[in-house]
């Protein structure tokens, strides 16, 4: 149960930061989001692995570093955290009434690519024997999200995480169809990253 609570806490603060940072209109929003993920990974990674993302949980399970019995509870904790974070953001700011519009094909491409990149970094820095007991993995993972948000946020909204996708949908930033894009592209990106890791990385 401790692992699931930690996954809830970390995902909550990630999604809450996304909503509040985007509402602020600050150019530093991507940095705040990446930093939020980084510090939550450093805070909770030793307890739960610090996934805070259903796509990462899928990748870690496929890679063989998470028992199957934990996958669904992790997903429930992460998605529930996204819902609770969205409700609080909406209480503070109100729901956005005009969602963004993104091209589906372009969104699918960039969400897949950067979720692949995120899961690839997680697997190589947080689960690999070659980087065992390192102290930089949280920074590497957080900066991957920051990089993706800066690079392709304007194309897809830059979720790279189904829990974030659910949260921003509930906040009114995205259409329901974009939530479907996030689910499909993000889970696929995580799965392909895990397959690539198992094929390419010598363990």
Contact 163, 52 (CB under 8 A): yes
Distance CA 16, CA 39 (A): 14
Q: How many residues does the chain have?
A: 203
pLDDT digits (tens, 9 = 90+) for 93-112: 999 999 999 999 999 999 99
Maximal C-alpha separation, the chain = 49
Residues 189, 111 contacting (CB under 8 angstroms): yes
Both tokens of 200, joined, read 């390419």
At residue 83, does pLDDT exceed 90?
yes
Taking only Cα atoms into account, the Rg of the chain, rounded to an integer number of angstroms, comes to 15
Please state, in angstroms and rounded to a whole number, the distance separating the CA atoms of residues 190 and 135: 23
State yes or no: pLDDT of 133 exceeds 90.
no
Average pLDDT of the chain to the nearest whole number: 97
Say which CATH topology domain 2-200 has: Glycerol uptake facilitator protein (1.20.1080)
- Domain locations in the chain? 2-200
- What is the average per-residue pLDDT within 128-135? 90
C-alpha span between 31 and 46 (Å, rounded): 23
Picking from 136, 135, 143, the residue whose alpha carbon sits closest to that of residue 118 is: 143
Given a cut of 90, whether residue 148 has pLDDT beyond it is yes
What is the pTM assigned to this prediction? 0.96
pLDDT of residue 145: 98
Residue 195 Cα distances to 45, 72, 109, 120, 199, angstroms: 23, 20, 18, 10, 6
């Amino acid at each position: 149960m401790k692992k699931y609570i930690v996954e809830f806490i970390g995902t909550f603060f990630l999604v809450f930061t996304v909503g509040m940072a985007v509402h602020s209109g600050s150019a530093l929003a991507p940095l705040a989001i990446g930093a939020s993920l980084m510090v939550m990974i450093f805070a909770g990674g030793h307890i739960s692995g610090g996934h805070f993302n259903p796509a990462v949980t899928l990748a870690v399970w496929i890679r063989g570093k998470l028992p199957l019995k934990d996958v669904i509870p992790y997903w429930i904790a992460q998605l529930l955290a996204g819902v609770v974070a969205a409700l609080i953001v909406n209480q503070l700011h109100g729901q956005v009434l005009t969602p963004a519009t993104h091209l589906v094909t372009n969104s699918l491409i960039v969400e897949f690519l950067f979720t692949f990149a995120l899961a690839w970094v997680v697997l190589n820095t947080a689960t690999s024997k070659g980087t065992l007991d390192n102290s930089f993995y949280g920074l590497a993972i957080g900066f991957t999200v920051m990089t993706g948000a800066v690079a392709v946020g304007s194309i897809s909204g830059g979720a790279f995480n189904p829990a974030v996708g659910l949260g921003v949908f509930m906040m009114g930033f995205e259409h329901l169809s974009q939530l479907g894009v996030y689910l499909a592209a993000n889970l696929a990106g995580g799965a392909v990253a895990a397959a690539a890791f198992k094929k390419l990385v010598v363990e």
